[in-house]
Amino acid sequence: MRVILLLSLLTLFLSCNNKDLDDGLSYTPKFIIDGNIEVDDFPVVKITHNIPINAKIDSALLEQIIIRWAKVEVVSKDDTEVLTLIHDKKVFPYYYYKARRLKGKLGESYKLKVTYNDIIMEGETYIPDHRPEIDSLWFKDNKVDTMRKELYIRLFDDTPQLDYYRFYTRPDSIMEFSPTTPKFTDDSKFINQYFESSLYRNRLSNFEEPGSTLFLRDVPIIVKVSNMNKQANDFWNKYQELSANIPLFGGNKLLQGNVSGPCIGIWYGTASHSQLITPN
């Protein structure tokens, strides 16, 4: 399945403007870094490298593009930790880096330093000082599909600053969240007010089998709202536009992250709130 996803992404890049892409002849190796630190949770950093669009994709190549020998450090104002390499065959990349002690705190800044041989890549981010609160979640019947329900959410924004909220859901039985439709909103139009919206289920990627955007009855789901800064929100908007929300394989030049060095990378902080709910 992961091989199919990678093939699909490369096909997507081929369909784009060649001036904006690395082709097989002008291929420049780059690291792909996806790092996140969440409030009250351990930072996670995933590192792969890009491949030319004419590469033959197989399981051996997928193993090769995973970077598992890097030194990954996260630095806060009062602590530093070298992250531990984790192996998990249920996700891609199968190897990623995770802290065991240092956790994210509201309003704090964090530096990321990745060292691979003599190459150094660095970024800095902060976790917003406002953690969103889900006021309520509820379902409505769907007149066409009686086996599924429509999901609705209400938030109350009680801070004066501009926040960027992204919405996700996942079945309680799996670990990966997928973005909803709508994917995000800023609070420019509802500061100190309630915000209500329907949330429609999306596939984890555009290359999975199409399915309903509604939620099956009696299947518990987790709804998550994440607040992140504008830079991270803009990055993920562009990323989803270009690559249909699948892992950062290709290394498109249109993506501008915040990690310096020979890479395309994003290192970002989030303040999130999650709730479990079952559509009955």
Q: Which domains does the chain have, with CATH numbers?
A: 2-128+233-270 (no CATH), 134-228+273-277 (2.60.40)
Cα 242 from Cα 11, distance rounded (Å): 12
What is residue 51's predicted lDDT score, i.e. its pLDDT? 77
Helix (H) / strand (E) element for 116: namely strand 109-116
- Whether the predicted pLDDT of 56 surpasses 80: no
Residues sharing a CB contact under 8 Å with residue 25, sequence separation 6 or more, in sequence order: none
Q: Which of 86-95, 140-149, 202-211, 235-244 is least confident?
A: 202-211
**164-173 residue pLDDT tens:** 999 999 999 8
The reported pLDDT for the residue numbered 29 is 81
pTM, 2 dp: 0.83
Question: What pLDDT band is residue 5 in, cutting at 50, 70 and 90?
Answer: very low
Higher pLDDT, 133 or 15: 133
Mean pLDDT of 239-243: 73
Task: Kindly tell me if the per-residue pLDDT of 3 is higher than 50.
Answer: no
> What mean pLDDT is predicted for residues 210-233?
94
Q: What is the mean pLDDT of residues 46-69?
A: 82
Rounded Cα distance between 102 and 81, Å, is 7
Contact (Cβ atoms closer than 8 angstroms) between residue 77 and residue 109: yes
The pLDDT of residue 26 is 58
Which tens digits make up the pLDDT trace of 67-113? Answer: 999 999 999 999 999 999 999 988 878 899 999 999 999 999 999 99
141-150, 225-234, 247-256: the lowest-pLDDT one? 247-256
Predicted pLDDT of residue 243: 60
Contact 70, 115 (CB under 8 A): yes
How far, in Å, CA of 142 to CA of 216, rounded? 11
